[in-house]
């Protein structure tokens, strides 16, 4: 696995390119594993004449401006160094995007990437926040001695690799989850609730039924109407939204009871990695919309109107 970090300059001219000024990378024998090799290349800029404010503050700017190599030469060395490694990791995902942007600007092939791990996202999951954490804060949080200057690509790649050792391995498998599914990782525990309804003559009838669609918030009991169902492997999901308590991942399971009758079970299950993966797949499959309920909507509109006129 290769942990990569880049420094770049956006410039002030019209050319839209985050021009790479330094490659930094370390090779790990596994996520969170030993550093077995390092790569560093300063890149002489050839596109932007002026440095933006962030680039001007780079500690190694002089080495970049006087570098013997330009981007094509540095990229050639980097791709060669990467060799057969095709799993890449970075802090936040921008580095890989910027590398691809530079490669397409110069019309050169970049390294082959079969998997990309955003270690910032994994670290955020580990500490239980949805916000992005700056690398320097993660380093401080992990108690890693701040021996090297930040914003040198090799040092930052090294720090990123060291932080990866503090990330629980099972979280790497959750990195492919979309943001929508990932947000349920951070929900606090709440009392379990299971409701049975039915019987229904067929699954589509159950999905549109009042018994399945009108669900109480698990915390306050306020009824909420389900607007979409997402088909999972053996159930349906929805994000039940209480105005006061936020969103609850809610599951509908149908059981065939014989004689053309279906029983429905609606619950707010415990969020596990397996459940989130199934929910993420369901989200990607797309929603089954519930039919609009005309009367309650008209009533709500009437209530809103006087407020809107003020
Ligand atoms: Zn509520």
Distance 239 CA to ligand 1 centre (A): 13
The pLDDT tens digits for 261-291 are 999 999 998 888 889 999 999 999 999 999 8
Question: What is the average pLDDT across 144-169?
Answer: 94
2-9 vs 194-200, strand pairing mode: unpaired
Residues of the chain with CATH 3.30.420.10: 2-176
CA 248 to ligand 1 centroid distance, Å: 10
Gap from CA of 214 to ligand 1 centroid (Å): 13
Ligand 1 centre to CA of 247 (Å) is 9
Q: What is the reported pLDDT for 305?
A: 53
- Rounded Cα distance between 289 and 29, Å, is 46
pLDDT digits (tens, 9 = 90+) for 177-203: 887 888 887 676 677 778 999 899 999
Decide if pLDDT at 306 tops 80: no
Give the predicted TM-score (pTM) of the model. Answer: 0.72
For residue 152, the CA-to-ligand 1 centroid distance in Å is: 48
Cα-to-centroid distance, 216 and ligand 1 (Å): 8
Ligand 1 centroid from CA 250, angstroms: 13
Question: What's the CA-to-centroid distance between 249 and ligand 1, angstroms?
Answer: 13
Beta strand pairing call for 228-231 and 288-289: antiparallel
- Residue 308: the pLDDT is 45
Query: What is residue 132's predicted lDDT score, i.e. its pLDDT?
Result: 83
2-176 has CATH 3.30.420.10 classification: yes
Q: How far is ligand 1, taken at its centre, from the CA of residue 193, in Å?
A: 13
Could you tell me the distance, in angstroms and rounded to a whole number, from the CA of residue 215 to the centre of ligand 1? 11
Mean pLDDT of 120-133: 84
Ligand 1 center to residue 252 CA distance, Å? 19
For residue 300, the CA-to-ligand 1 centroid distance in Å is 19
φ and ψ at residue 292, rounded to 5 degrees: -65, 140
- Distance (angstroms) between ligand 1 centre and the Cα of 196 equals 20
Q: What integer is the mean pLDDT of 60-77?
A: 97
- For residues 172 and 30, the answer to whether their CB atoms sit within 8 Å is no
Q: Among 110-114, 123-127, 188-192, 235-239, which stretch is predicted with the lowest mean pLDDT? A: 188-192
CA of 242 relative to ligand 1 center, distance in Å: 5
How do beta strands 236-242 and 228-231 pair? antiparallel
CB environment 280-300: b (16+ within 10 A), e (fewer)? bbbbeeeeeebeeeeeeeeee
CA of 226 from ligand 1 middle (Å) equals 14
Q: Ligand 1 mean position to 112 CA, how many Å?
A: 48
Please calculate the CA angle 169-6-94 and round it to the nearest 5 degrees: 65
């Amino acid at each position: 696995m290769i942990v990569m970090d880049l420094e770049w300059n956006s410039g002030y001219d019209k050319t839209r390119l985050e021009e790479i000024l330094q490659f930094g990378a370390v090779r790990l024998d596994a996520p969170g594993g030993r550093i077995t090799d390092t790569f560093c290349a300063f890149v002489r800029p050839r596109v932007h004449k002026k440095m933006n404010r962030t680039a001007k503050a780079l500690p190694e700017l002089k080495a970049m401006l006087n570098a013997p190599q330009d981007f094509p030469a540095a990229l050639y060395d980097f791709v060669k160094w990467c060799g057969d490694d095709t799993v890449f990791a970075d802090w936040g995902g921008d580095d890989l995007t910027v590398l691809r942007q530079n490669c397409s600007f110069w019309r050169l092939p970049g390294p082959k990437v079969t998997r990309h791990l955003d270690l910032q996202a994994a670290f955020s999951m580990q500490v239980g926040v949805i916000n992005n954490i700056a690398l320097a804060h993660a380093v401080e949080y992990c108690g890693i001695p701040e021996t090297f200057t930040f914003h040198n690509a090799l040092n930052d790649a090294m720090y990123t690799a060291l932080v990866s050792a503090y990330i629980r391995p099972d979280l790497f498998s959750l990195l492919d989850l979309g943001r929508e599914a990932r947000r349920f990782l951070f929900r606090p525990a709440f009392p379990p609730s299971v409701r049975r309804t039915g019987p229904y003559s067929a699954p589509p009838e159950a999905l549109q039924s009042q018994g399945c669609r009108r669900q109480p918030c698990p915390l306050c009991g306020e009824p909420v109407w389900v607007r979409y169902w997402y088909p999972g492997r053996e159930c349906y999901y929805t994000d039940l939204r209480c105005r006061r308590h936020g969103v609850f991942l809610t599951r509908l399971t149908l059981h065939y009871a014989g004689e053309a009758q279906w029983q429905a079970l609606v619950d707010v299950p415990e969020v596990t990695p397996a459940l989130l993966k199934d929910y993420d797949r369901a989200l990607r499959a797309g929603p089954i919309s519930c039919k609009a309920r005309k009367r309650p909507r008209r009533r709500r509109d009437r209530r809103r109107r006087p407020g809107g006129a003020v």
